[in-house]
Structure 1
Amino acid sequence: MTFTQLEIFSILARVGSFSRTAAALGITQSAVSHAIKQLETELGVSLMIREATLATPSEAGARLLIRANDILQQREALLQEANNERGLARGTLRIASFGATSSLHLLPQLIVRYQHAHPWVEVHIDEGIDNVVTQWLLERRVELGFVVLPDDRFDTLAIAADELVAVLPAHHELAAQSRVAATDFHGQPFIRTSAGSGPHIDQFLATAGSIPKTLFHFEQLSSMLGFVAQGAAVTIAARLALPEPPSGVVYRSLQPHKPRQIGLAALNFKRLSPAALAFVDVARKMRFETKTACATAPAAD
C-alpha cells in the first residue's frame, strides 16, 4: 500500500470518475485503474462500484475512505511540520464552505489575510450545503469547514453572528412591520430552499403551527430574490447569505428573533496540520461585521 494509491482512491471517491481523477493527477486513466485494483487486491475488498463512467465507493470503500483520508491528512501534517523545521511554510489546506454565508461574507477576507501571511500554502475550497460540509469533515475529506453552531461532533471556533430574516416584496403588507412573526407566514405564497438553513426555517414555522403555501423550491438566492421582487412570494433566509436588498425587496427581522452563529470546525484542533492551525489563528483574530435586517418599516406611499 502506498500514499499514491491512497491519494488516487481519495480523489476518485471525491470526483466519481476515473478520467477526471487521471486528469487531476496528470496520469493516465489506466494508471488510476491499476492503482485501485492493486489497493483492492491488498485489502481484499472491493472499494469502488463501477457503473458506466461513474465510480462510487462501495459500502466497505466508504468506511475505508475515512481511514485513507485520515492517513493522507496526517501525512500532509507531517510534511508541513518537516518544512517548518527547515524554515519553509508550505503545504496544502482543504476547507469546506456552506455557500454564500461563508463563501461570500467570511472566506474572502480570511483568505486574503491568510495568504498574505502564508503565501506558499495552497488552499483548496469546496462548497456544499451544510450537511454536506459536515459529512466531508467526518469523512476527513477536508481539515476545516464552516458550520452552524452548536455542533458537538467537532472542535469549533465561533467567528460570526447571523440571523434568519423575512425576505419580502417591498410593497407587501408584512413589509410595513418592523418584525415578522412565524404566524404571519401562514397561508402566504412561500419559497422553500434545500440550503442548510431549511431545517431552522421549518422549525421556526412549525413551533407556531404556521403553514405557508409553498409554491416554489429554489436552490439559488438570485432566483428567490427575483420572485420576491416581483411580489410572487415571501421567504426566509440567513442574513449573511443575502446581498444588500435589491430593488423591490426588503428584509425584516423575525419575531421571536432567530439568531444563528457561524463557526469554523475540525474533528480535532490538536491534530490539525500547521497550515490549518495557522488558518484557525487568522480566523480567531479577525472580527466580522454582523449584518442585520432593516428594522425600520418604510413610510407609506
Structure 2
Amino acid sequence: MTFTQLEIFVRVAELKGFTSAASRLSITQSAVSHAIKALEAELGVELINRHQSTLELTAVGERLVLRARSILGLAETMRQEAGDARGMKRGTLRIGSFGPTSSVKLLPLILDAYRQAYPGIEVHIDEGRDREVVQWLQDRRIDVGFVVLPDERFDTFPIAEDQMVALVPIHHALASKADVTLKELCPDPFIMTEAGSAHLVAHMFNAAKLVPNTRYHSTQLLSTLAMVERGDGVTILAELALPAERGKVGYVKKPLRPRVKRSVGLALLDERQASPATQAFIKIALKLKRQGLLRFTADL
C-alpha cells in the first residue's frame, strides 16, 4: 500500500469517476485503474462497485476512504511540519466555504493576506451549502471550513458576527415598519433558502412555536432575492449573505424583533492534528478579526 494508491482512491471516491480522477491527478486513466486494482488486491476486498454509467463505493470502501483521508492528512501534516522549519515554503490547504457570507465577504480578505505570507502553499477551495461543509469536515475532505456557530462537533474559532434580517417586497405592508416579528411574517408565502443558515431559520420559528407558510425552497441566493422582488413571498436571510446594494432593488431589508444574531467561524476536526498551513490560516483570520477588518454590518 502506497500514499499514491490512497490518494488515487480518495480522488476516485470524491469525483466519482476514473477519468475525472485521472484528469485531476494529471495521470492516465489506466494508471488510476491499475492503482485501484492493486489496492483492492492487497486489502483483499472490493472498494468500488463499477457500473456502466455510475461508480460508487462499496460498504467497506465507504469506511476505508475515511481512513485513507486521515492517513493522507497526517502525512501532509508531517510534510508541512518539516517544511515549517524551512519557512513553510510548500504545502496544501483545503478550505470549505458556503454561500456569499464566506465565499464573497470573508474568504477573499483572509486568502489575500494568507497568500502574501505563504505564497508557496497550494490552496484548494470547495464551495457548497453550509451543511455540505460540515459533512466535508467530518469526512476529512477539507482541512478547515466556514461554519455557522455554535457547532460542538468541531474545534471552532469565531471570526465574524451579523444578524438575521427579513426581506419583504418593496411595496409590502411590512416595508414601512422599523422592524418585524416572526409572527408578522407567518401569513405570507415564505421562501426557505437552502443557501446557508436554513437550520437557524427553522430553529427560530420552532423556538417561537410558530410555523411559517413555506411555499418555496430555493438553493440559490440570487433566485431567492428575485422571488422576493417579484412579490412571490418573504424570507429571512443572514445580513452578511446579502449582496452590496447597487442602485434600486425591489425588496426591503428589515431587522427582526427581537434581534437574532448569527456567528460564523472557522472549524476543523481536531486542532491538535491541524497542519501548519491550517494553523497559519486560522491565525491570520483571527488577526484580521482583531484588527476589525472582518466587520461588514453596523453594531447589533
Please tell me the TM-score bracket, short chain as reference.
over 0.9
- What is the TM-score when the length of structure 2 is the normalising length? 0.93
Match among 281, 284, 297 for residue 282 of structure 1: 284
Show the counterpart of 2:162: 162
Considering only aligned residues, what root-mean-square deviation do their CA atoms show, in Å? 1.8
More displaced 10-residue stretch of structure 1: 188-197 or 27-36: 188-197
Q: For 1:131-173, what per-residue CA distance to the aligned partner results, in whole angstroms no more than 9, with x for missing partners?
A: 2111111111111011111111111111000221101112211
More displaced 10-residue stretch of structure 1: 188-197 or 210-219: 210-219
Question: Quick check: 2:88–2:118 contact (8 Å CA) kept in 1?
Answer: no
Superposition map of 1:213-252 within 5 A:
213-245=213-245, 247-252=249-254
In structure 1, the residue corresponding to 2:285 is in which secondary structure? helix
Change (3 A) 1:32 1:53: farther
In structure 1, the residue corresponding to 2:72 is in which secondary structure? helix
More displaced 10-residue stretch of structure 1: 231-240 or 80-89: 80-89
Across the two proteins, how many residue pairs are aligned to each other? Answer: 294
Which whole-Å CA distance do the structure 1 matches of 2:72 and 2:95 have between them?
Answer: 15
Shift of 1:292: 5.2
Which whole-Å CA distance do the structure 1 matches of 2:42 and 2:258 have between them?
Answer: 58
Match among 268, 284, 297 for residue 291 of structure 1: 297
Q: For 1:202-257, what per-residue CA distance to the aligned partner results, in whole angstroms no more than 9, with x for missing partners?
A: 22223334333333222111111112112221111111111134512111111221
Matched, 1:261 2:273: no
Question: Quick check: 1:89–1:118 contact (8 Å CA) kept in 2?
Answer: yes
Question: Quick check: 2:91–2:277 contact (8 Å CA) kept in 1?
Answer: yes
Shift of 1:45: 2.1
Match among 261, 270, 273 for residue 272 of structure 2: 270
Matched, 1:147 2:147: yes
Which whole-Å CA distance do the structure 2 matches of 1:108 and 1:91 have between them?
Answer: 20
Question: Quick check: 2:47–2:60 contact (8 Å CA) kept in 1?
Answer: yes
Shift of 1:57: 2.1
Show the counterpart of 1:173: 173
Show the counterpart of 1:131: 131
In structure 2, the residue corresponding to 1:196 is in which secondary structure? coil
Show the counterpart of 1:298: none
In structure 2, the residue corresponding to 1:178 is in which secondary structure? coil
Superposition map of 1:78-97 within 5 A:
78-97=78-97
Shift of 1:88: 4.7
Any unmatched runs of 5+ in structure 1?
A: 296-301
Show the counterpart of 2:55: 55
Q: For 1:8-33, what per-residue CA distance to the aligned partner results, in whole angstroms no more than 9, with x for missing partners?
A: 01111111111100111111112111
Show the counterpart of 1:74: 74
Which whole-Å CA distance do the structure 1 matches of 2:146 and 2:67 have between them?
Answer: 22
Change (3 A) 1:23 1:177: same
Which whole-Å CA distance do the structure 2 matches of 1:145 and 1:243 have between them?
Answer: 21
Question: Quick check: 1:80–1:91 contact (8 Å CA) kept in 2?
Answer: yes
Which whole-Å CA distance do the structure 2 matches of 1:224 and 1:261 have between them?
Answer: 22
Show the counterpart of 1:199: 199
- What is the TM-score when the length of structure 1 is the normalising length? 0.92
TM superposition outliers: structure 1 runs of 4+ over 4 Å = none
> Percent identity between the aligned chains?
48
Which whole-Å CA distance do the structure 2 matches of 1:213 and 1:148 have between them?
Answer: 25
Show the counterpart of 1:299: none
Change (3 A) 1:58 1:291: farther
Change (3 A) 1:211 1:84: closer
Show the counterpart of 1:101: 101
Question: Quick check: 2:146–2:266 contact (8 Å CA) kept in 1?
Answer: yes
Q: For 1:43-80, what per-residue CA distance to the aligned partner results, in whole angstroms no more than 9, with x for missing partners?
A: 22222222324322222112111111111111111112
More displaced 10-residue stretch of structure 1: 266-275 or 101-110: 266-275
Change (3 A) 1:88 1:137: closer
Which whole-Å CA distance do the structure 2 matches of 1:110 and 1:139 have between them?
Answer: 24
